[in-house]
């Protein structure tokens, strides 16, 4: 990642204390009742829905096993991810993202206000992906995002696309379980994604860091979308803020599992029944870490607001509606310019 700017070290030294850390596990949920069709016991589905609802309400995070995504395909993607990041910086930057192309490679030197210790490759799930040209609410222009095609590793784009198809199936099943846990129809959320979804996958590489007490892999944040489905290697690093006591919990990797977290959109749809939770990634002084999150995002023209079925005179809507595409573009733009105002968050749409 290059030399560390002394000014950056000085800035990091004034960050709030990050410790202590509690090392506990988030819920691990077995999806066999819906993934393997040989199990048809309705009580098993009912129990699974309750597990999902409890995890969403108490944690906002959970792990899933027996999820149906082929392990061999996941291993292929992990392999090509390592191969891609092992290249020279010059070769990786041949497929760099920029202010006009939102997909491809970037490292933290590309951005002006993000100094997390990592490098990334972004790839949209649907090509082309349609998004607003800018965040101006009165401008209806739409642009197309497409994916770069690195020459190395071989079949890079093909393997990513095959993986996306499988993890997307899991995303829809999880949305059905979450909908049922809220007392909604199983397919209630599908309309937001079935056409022109803006989902994307990210390959993350966190190199070993000589200043683990000063740097972060990713700073504390909440995910803006609906769901994040994360594959990670055996190196620990992800930490979640537990809602009950506000302590940071280290997520212990479970072999072949996926880590799932509820995003801001589900918080708004559920009218705060479920909450998007803060999380961060710590770096390691000895080991590099790889992870692959899939961000499940709706169509750009989706209006995000509390669902009518979940509000009434006793439980009024807690958020004003907002357009997803405009929200996403505003957040993206701040990766390339230092703004004099706070980055856009869903609480800016909260009704007092």
- Distance between CA atoms of 236 and 217, rounded to whole angstroms? 11
CATH numeric code, 7-349? 2.60.120.330
Give the model's pLDDT for residue 4: 46
pTM of the complete model: 0.90
Give φ, ψ of 230 to 5 degrees.
Answer: -110, 125
Give the model's pLDDT for residue 131: 95
- Distance between CA atoms of 222 and 32, rounded to whole angstroms? 29
Give the model's pLDDT for residue 87: 97
Give φ, ψ of 148 to 5 degrees.
Answer: -70, 160
Q: What is the pLDDT along the chain (352 residues), one digit of tens a residue?
A: 544 444 444 444 434 444 444 445 799 999 998 876 545 566 778 999 999 999 999 999 999 999 999 999 999 999 999 999 999 999 999 999 877 778 999 987 654 444 578 999 999 999 999 999 998 888 999 999 999 989 999 999 999 999 999 999 999 999 999 999 999 999 999 999 999 999 999 999 999 988 777 777 888 899 999 999 999 999 999 999 998 888 999 998 899 999 999 999 999 999 999 999 999 999 888 999 999 999 999 999 999 999 999 999 999 999 999 999 999 998 887 654 544 445 789 999 999 8
Query: Contact, 246 vs 234, CB < 8 A?
Result: no
Where do we find the tokens 């499940």?
296
Give φ, ψ of 170 to 5 degrees.
Answer: -65, -40
Query: How far apart, in Å, are the Cα atoms of 172 and each of 16, 35, 175, 235?
Result: 38, 12, 5, 28
How many residues does the structure list for the chain?
352
Say what angle helices 71-85 and 156-181 make with each other, to 10 degrees. Answer: 130
Give the model's pLDDT for residue 213: 72
Query: Contact, 56 vs 181, CB < 8 A?
Result: yes
Give the model's pLDDT for residue 224: 96
Give the model's pLDDT for residue 42: 66
Give the model's pLDDT for residue 212: 76
Q: What radius of gyration do the chain's Cα atoms show?
A: 20
Instruction: Record the tokens describing residue 249, joined without a space.
Output: 């919990």
- Distance between CA atoms of 11 and 55, rounded to whole angstroms? 36
């Amino acid at each position: 990642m290059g030399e560390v700017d002394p000014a950056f070290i000085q800035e990091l030294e004034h960050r709030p204390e990050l410790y202590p850390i509690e090392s506990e596990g988030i819920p691990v949920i077995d999806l066999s009742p819906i993934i393997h069709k040989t199990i048809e016991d309705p009580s098993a589905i009912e129990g699974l829905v309750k597990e999902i609802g409890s995890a969403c309400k108490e944690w906002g995070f959970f792990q899933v096993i027996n999820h149906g995504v082929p392990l061999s395909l996941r291993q292929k993607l992990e392999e090509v991810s390592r191969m891609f990041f092992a290249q020279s910086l010059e070769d990786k930057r041949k497929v760099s993202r920029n202010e006009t192309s939102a997909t491809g490679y970037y490292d933290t030197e590309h951005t002006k206000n993000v100094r997390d210790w990592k490098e990334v490759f972004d790839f949209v799930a649907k090509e082309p992906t349609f998004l607003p040209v800018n965040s101006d609410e009165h401008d209806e222009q739409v642009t197309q995002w497409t994916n770069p095609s690195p020459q190395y590793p071989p079949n890079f784009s093909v393997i990513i696309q095959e993986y996306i198809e499988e993890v997307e199936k899991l995303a829809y099943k999880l949305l059905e379980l979450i909908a049922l846990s809220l007392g909604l129809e199983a397919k209630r959320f599908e309309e937001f994604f079935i056409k022109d979804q803006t989902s994307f996958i990210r390959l993350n590489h966190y190199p070993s860091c000589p200043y683990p007490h000063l740097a972060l892999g990713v700073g504390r944040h909440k995910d803006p979308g609906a769901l994040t489905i994360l594959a990670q290697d055996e190196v620990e690093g992800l930490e979640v803020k537990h809602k009950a006591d506000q302590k940071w919990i280290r997520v212990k990797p479970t072999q072949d599992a996926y880590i799932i977290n509820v995003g801001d959109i589900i918080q708004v749809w559920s009218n705060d029944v479920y909450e998007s939770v803060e999380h961060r990634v710590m770096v390691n002084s000895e080991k590099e870490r790889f992870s692959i999150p899939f961000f499940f995002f709706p169509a750009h023209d989706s209006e995000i607001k509390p669902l009518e079925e979940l509000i009434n005179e006793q439980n009024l809507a807690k958020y004003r509606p907002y357009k997803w595409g405009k929200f996403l573009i505003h957040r993206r733009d701040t990766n390339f310019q230092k703004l004099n105002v706070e980055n856009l968050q869903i609480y800016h749409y909260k009704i007092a």
